[in-house]
Structure formats: structure tokens, C-alpha cells
Amino acid sequence: MPKINGNEIRPGNVLEHNDGLWAAVKVDHVKPGKGGAFAQVELKNLRNGSKLNERFRSADKVERVRLEQKDQQFLYEDDGMLIFMDTETYEQNQISSDLLGERRPFLQDGMTIVVEFYDAEALNATLPQKVTCKVVETEPVVKGQTAANSFKPAILDNGVKVMVPPFVGQDEAIVVNTETMEYSERA
């Protein structure tokens, strides 16, 4: 694995540090008036989610880890484990539903997601940015109510609550951004 200098760390980099795998969340380069410059790095553990603030001087060497990204097709859920099929090798993989966190309800049957692996261990999963859902419950559409920036609550077919514009009615399909978990457009 390649070693990089402490001043080359960028947000999103995955590092092997203190016998764990850490993702750099935030990096601030600090040049104090006295002493050498350093990078103040906020790290997040990819296995247990704990956070750590660490200082790296430019002379410090850290291991940069490359995660293997694979397309995985969702098949079904079994006892809190999500069963995926590798789209290239057709092998089935079990991944904990905790890996998706609050975005789990947006995972639909047959959906292809990107899973990042370190050796055979799944560390991160990314859903498509936009997912189509159906509104199952919301207030009725009121004619003439077109005030800018007025939104109303709606419950989707997957149980998630989002805010939608006043013109969206019940049983209508909408597109939801899975990163911000907000209404994006009509489907």
C-alpha cells in the first residue's frame, strides 16, 4: 500500500492508522507562527463509527488504503442482513443493514448499489443519488396555494417522511435525493 505524507491527506481518503481503517472527514492545514506546519485531520473509523482528531506533520508517513468498489444488486433481507449479488461474478454477499443507516428504507428490490470492500469486508455502501418513491399520505392539494418555499409533510411508501411542495398529491410518484433525503422532483 502506498504511504503518503501527512500534508497530502485529503477529505475522503481512507487511512490505516492505529491498527484501524479511518476515513478523513475534514482536513485543516495549519501554519502556526512558531513551529512547523501540520494538518489537523478529523478521522472517522469505518468499522465502528468512532471519531478521532489527529495532527499529522508533513514528515509523518501514513498508509493510504484503496477500497475496491463493486456493483452489488439487492436481492432480499434476512434477519437484519442484506443479501446482495455481485453483478460481475454472481456471488452472493451478506452485508449488515446498519451499513446503510437511515438510508435503508430507500433500498428497493433489484436496485444496484456500490459497495466498497477492504479485502472481503464491506465498509461502505452508496445508494443511487435519486430514487423514485410513491406518496401514500399527505394533505390534499389546495388550488391557488403557490406561495414560494411552502412545503407540506408527506409519508412515502417506504415509511419515510419528507417535505413536498403543495402541488404534490397522494398516490403521486416523486423523486427523492438519497443524500439529503429531500424531495427533488416529480417522477
Residue 75 corresponds to which cell in the numbers above?
436481492
Give the tens place of pLDDT for each residue, 71-119.
999 999 988 899 999 999 999 999 888 888 888 899 999 999 999 898 8
- For residue 7, name the pLDDT band (cuts at 50, 70, 90): confident
Q: How far apart are CA 116 and CA 64, in angstroms?
A: 15
pLDDT-based confidence at 1, cuts 50/70/90? low
Report long-range pairs for 24-28 (Cβ below 8 Å, ≥24 apart).
25/51
Summary mean pLDDT of the chain = 88
- Beta-carbon contacts of 28 under 8 Å, excluding residues fewer than 6 positions away, are 39, 40, 41
